[in-house]
Structure 1
Amino acid sequence: MNRIGIIGAMGSEVEHLREMMHGREETVAAGRTFYAGKIGNIDVVLVCSGIGKVNSAMSAQILIDRFGVDAIINTGIAGGAKDAKVRDVVVSTEAAYHDMELRLVALSHPYTEQFAADEALVKKAEKACAECGIACHLGKIATGDQFISDKRIKEDIVSRLDPNAVEMEGGAVAHVCAANRVPFVIIRSISDNADDGAEIDFDTFEQLAADDAAKIVVAMLKQM
């Protein structure tokens, strides 16, 4: 892979990676700053997309069309589900929307309700977690335009999709990548339990979890 696109939704999710880049050049597109340079020996383009599905999808398409990335890593934080605990990492095997009727998603290209992550990237992420000593869960990412802080809502999402993490961007990045046949993987460090205490946990663990996810991305890049 010649050039890797990296997307984080918030400043806390990209700050660590931006600081590690050398030979950095900045390009503004659609009101977002794209940072092109190297992390280690790997060419990367990094962007802070903004929160939500539209922002992340727009950023992913720009990375593909304008910067010609060969793969996309979506890094950041999420609410945990199933056995994923705070500061564990969930690596996507697939992604899906929890706030759309999936049968309607499948009516358009790429004609699927859920989007499968690239197996080689998943293996690199799993290995990176082991190298960093961070607990890793392989599973589904559930995406919707809502910060989940209600146990009942989380339980409904889990009953329908059985995800390991719930967040607001990964499914849209996955959708764009699938439509363009670009490999992707989503890395999510758990910042909260997506329940009634989520807002307190998020405030406490946001930066720690974001930095954990960034460490996984750096360890992945060393394998490329």
Structure 2
Amino acid sequence: MKIAIIVPMAIEAEYYRKNFHSGNKEMFGSTVFEHFCVKDNDIYLGLSGIGKVQAAMNLASLLSNVDIDLILMTGTAGSLAAAVHKEDLLLADSFTYHDAHNTLAGDYVEGQIPGEPAEFKLTSPARENFKQFLIEQKVPFKEGLIVTGDAFIGSDVQKDAIKQNFPEALAVEMEGAAFAQVAYHFNKPLIALRAISDNGNDDANEDFDEFAQKVGAKAAKLICAYLEKMN
């Protein structure tokens, strides 16, 4: 299989680089993808950059040039739910945009881009296999909706505004829905594992630097273990 692993920031890719042996490098979009081989699988590790445009551009460029079979997205997110705490793992089952407000443009719901689904559902057999792996490994995780937008959420005012439109959302970040939209149009399965780095409130600025690397490595360790077990 050809598997893409994409993370937003270099600090979130460090564990993968330590775990995988060095491979070839190739530029797709605006980012360099490192090419490794793990258990007869071709792994393409790249940084998406931060935000929706960078995420979509770099994933679409890779998929346009390489027949990727599976996309794995890891990284961090801020909590939106009282039951979601720092260092919790979230396995997204859907994404939407918290900064897409098009209800006045037609029969659309909050978060929906005209011409696109209301939510991007992640329902592939590949995701189910990974979910079963987490269960077998007795890894605690939560699953649900994650919302995406081009803003770092670092205040209770921002957080409350998002929760008003998306009360069921577990977390917020800056790339996931863009990944999901590209994967949807390329008809590729996406597994999205986010680790909570902060509470998305007034403490987020000081929390983020401290926790991002730690929780990014936590998600990366699980991805690496899963790849080692894949047939």
Q: Above 0.5 in TM-score? A: yes
What residue number does 1:14 align with?
13
**Is 1:169 matched up with 2:188?**
no
State the one-letter code of the partner of 1:86.
K
Amino acid at match of 1:81: L
> TM-score scaled by structure 1?
0.91
User: Which range is displaced more, 16-25 or 88-97?
Assistant: 16-25
The one-letter code sitting in structure 1 at the alignment partner of 2:174 is M
Q: Alignment partner of 2:37: what SS?
A: strand
1:76 matched to 2:75? The reply is yes
Paired residues of 2:29 and 2:62 also in contact (CA < 8 A): no
Q: Which runs of 5+ in 1 are unaligned?
A: none
Matched with 2:230 is: 223
CA RMSD of aligned residues (A): 1.9
CA contact (8 A) 1:92 1:122 kept: no
d(CA) in 1 for partners of 2:18 and 2:56? 24
The Cα shift of 1:118 comes to 3.2
Work out the number of aligned pairs and report it: 221
The structure with more radius of gyration: 2
Identity percentage of aligned residues: 31
What TM-score, normalized to structure 2?
0.88
Instruction: Provide, for residues 37-77 of structure 1, a one-character-per-residue CA deviation record: whole Å limited to 9, x for no partner.
Output: 12344221110111000111011112211121012111101
Q: Which residue of structure 2 lines up, in the alignment, with residue 125 of structure 1?
A: 130
**Letter in structure 1 aligned against 2:67:** G
Q: 1:135 to 1:152 in 2, by over 3 A?
A: farther
Q: Deviations over 1:136-195 (max 9, x none)?
A: 001111000001011121122122122111000000000000111111121100000101
Evaluate the alpha carbon distance shift between residue 210 and residue 133 of structure 1 in structure 2; reply closer, same or farther with a 3 A threshold: farther
Shift of 1:121: 3.2
Question: Could you tell me which residue of structure 2 aligns to residue 115 of structure 1?
Answer: 120
Equivalences for 1:6-155 in 2 at 5 Å?
6-22=5-21, 24-82=23-81, 83-101=83-101, 103=108, 105-108=112-115, 111-130=116-135, 134-155=139-160
Residue 190 (structure 1) aligned with residue 189 (structure 2): no
Contact 2:92–2:122 (CA under 8 A) maintained in structure 1: yes
